Amino acid sequence: MSNLVNTERNGLRRRANYSTFPSLSSWMSDILGSDINTLMTSNFNTGMTLPATNIKETDDAYMVEVAIPGMKKEDFDIEIDQNILTISNEQEFEDSEEKESYTRREFGYSSFKRSFTLPETADDEKISANYENGILAIEIPKREEAKQKPARRIDIK
pLDDT digits (tens, 9 = 90+) for 59-95: 899 999 999 888 888 888 999 999 999 999 888 878 8
pLDDT at residue 107, as a whole number: 79
What is the structure's pLDDT at 33? 56
Domain ranges across the chain:
7-42, 53-146
Is the pLDDT confidence value at 39 over 90?
no
| Rounded Cα gap, residues 101 and 148, in angstroms | 71
Residue 96 makes CB contacts below 8 A (sequence gap 6+) with 103, 104, 105, 106
Predicted confidence (pLDDT) at residue 138 exceeds the cutoff of 90: yes
In angstroms, what CA-CA distances link 94 with 91, 97, 151, 154, 157?
10, 10, 59, 68, 78
pLDDT at residue number 132: 93
pLDDT digits (tens, 9 = 90+) for 81-130: 999 999 998 888 788 888 888 778 787 877 888 899 999 999 999 999 99
pLDDT above 80 (res 36): no
| Gap between the Cα atoms of 134 and 66, Å rounded | 8
Q: Which CATH number applies to 53-146: 3.30.1490.20, 3.40.50.2300, 2.60.40.790, 2.170.190.11?
A: 2.60.40.790
